[in-house]
Amino acid sequence: MSGGKKLRIAIQKSGRLSEKSLETISSCGIDFSTDSRTLKCAAQNFPLEFLFVRDDDIPTYVYDGVADIGIVGRNELDESGYSLEVVRDLGFASCRLSIAVPEGFDYQGLSSLEGKRIATSYPRILSSILEERGVQASLVTVSGSVEITPAVGIADCICDLVSTGATLRMNGLKEVEAIYWTSAVMVARSDFSQDEERSAILSRLLMRMDTVNNARKKKYVLFNLPADRIEDAARIVGGMKSPTVTPLLDSAWVSVQSVVGEDRFWSVFEDLKAIGAEGILVMPIEKMSD
């Protein structure tokens, strides 16, 4: 197992994605220390090496082979134009790309952007959307501080990422239309599977991620039930192998254990109460394999 090769992952150095990206890895039982502000570090108990970079550069690094995989916003991937393989949709750090205008801009829809100067860091995504909608505008590409461009007179409005909206408010801009939605994905080079040793490491990592993820979406439920309602309970809990039933000292009652999807939890809870379940305990599940 210690063949020597390590899988190299590119992670955002600081920003919206950083913390959750590291959490995704550490929840897989992979230990590392990031306190030294180095650009590179290796995990202590898994053949994984981290590269801490700007999120905008992650698709390029993965494409060029500087890193094998990366965690990045789908926006950066789409904007890069590289066709990388999305190996997992991670779902965190979700935000939107929106049109925002200064006070006094009469916005009636995308057609109001006709002939206007729009500042953005996402010219590829924006131009494809404008083209789709038949709007002709001139794009002013800037790599940061997009929100100040109308105030300094180099753009009429902007198209930028919005999460809480605080940045826009602080700069006197109003979000008028969201045109694209994004969240974090894990990407790999599309020909990556040819590197057998590193592919095997990636499979191990993904297996751990999936196990943790499965568990997060489920709750472990334990309750006492009148013994004659067990069929009803099995029907309510449903969707998996029969629940585990343990006799209690009082033979009129049983203890039941099962796993329930988070999304169904409240309806299951109410239905169980309705058939006389008592002492319902709900516990988080740390790991769960299929």
What residues line the site for Zn ion (CB under 5 A)?
Answer: 55-56
As measured in angstroms, the least distance from the Cβ of 145 to ligand PRP is 8
223 by Cβ neighbours in 10 Å (0-12 / 13-18 / 19+) ranks as buried
**φ, ψ for residue 247, nearest 5 deg:** -70, 150
What tokens does 23 get? Answer: 């959490």
69-73 and 95-102 beta bridge pairing: unpaired
As measured in angstroms, the least distance from the Cβ of 102 to Zn ion is 23
Is the Cβ of residue 79 or residue 156 nearer to Zn ion in the bound state? Answer: 79
109 vs 114: CA distance, rounded Å = 10
As measured in angstroms, the least distance from the Cβ of 105 to ligand PRP is 19
As measured in angstroms, the least distance from the Cβ of 257 to ligand PRP is 42
162 binds, among Zn ion, ligand PRP, none (CB under 5 to 8 A by kind): ligand PRP
157-162 and 95-102 beta bridge pairing: antiparallel
Is the Cβ of residue 61 or residue 269 nearer to ligand PRP in the bound state? Answer: 61
166 binds, among ligand PRP, Zn ion, none (CB under 5 to 8 A by kind): ligand PRP
Applying CB under 6 A, which residues contact ligand PRP? Answer: 15-16, 55, 144, 146, 160-167
What tokens does 37 get? Answer: 């502000």
Is the Cβ of residue 48 or residue 58 nearer to Zn ion in the bound state? Answer: 58
As measured in angstroms, the least distance from the Cβ of 159 to ligand PRP is 10
Nearest Cα to 80, choosing from 167, 10, 164, 26? 10
Cα atoms in the Cβ-side hemisphere of radius 13 Å centred on 136:
1
Residue 3: alpha-carbon gap to chain centroid: 31
Is the Cβ of residue 55 or residue 156 nearer to Zn ion in the bound state? Answer: 55
Is the Cβ of residue 56 or residue 147 nearer to Zn ion in the bound state? Answer: 56
237 binds, among ligand PRP, Zn ion, none (CB under 5 to 8 A by kind): none
Length of the chain: 290
- CA torsion, points 133, 135, 141, 143, in degrees to nearest 10? -30
Question: Max CA-CA distance within the chain?
Answer: 80
As measured in angstroms, the least distance from the Cβ of 185 to ligand PRP is 15
As measured in angstroms, the least distance from the Cβ of 269 to Zn ion is 42
115 binds, among Zn ion, ligand PRP, none (CB under 5 to 8 A by kind): none
165 binds, among ligand PRP, Zn ion, none (CB under 5 to 8 A by kind): ligand PRP
Is the Cβ of residue 117 or residue 216 nearer to ligand PRP in the bound state? Answer: 117
Is the Cβ of residue 152 or residue 249 nearer to ligand PRP in the bound state? Answer: 152
Query: Other CB atoms closer than 10 Å to residue 256's CB: what's the count?
Result: 23
Amino acid at 67: A
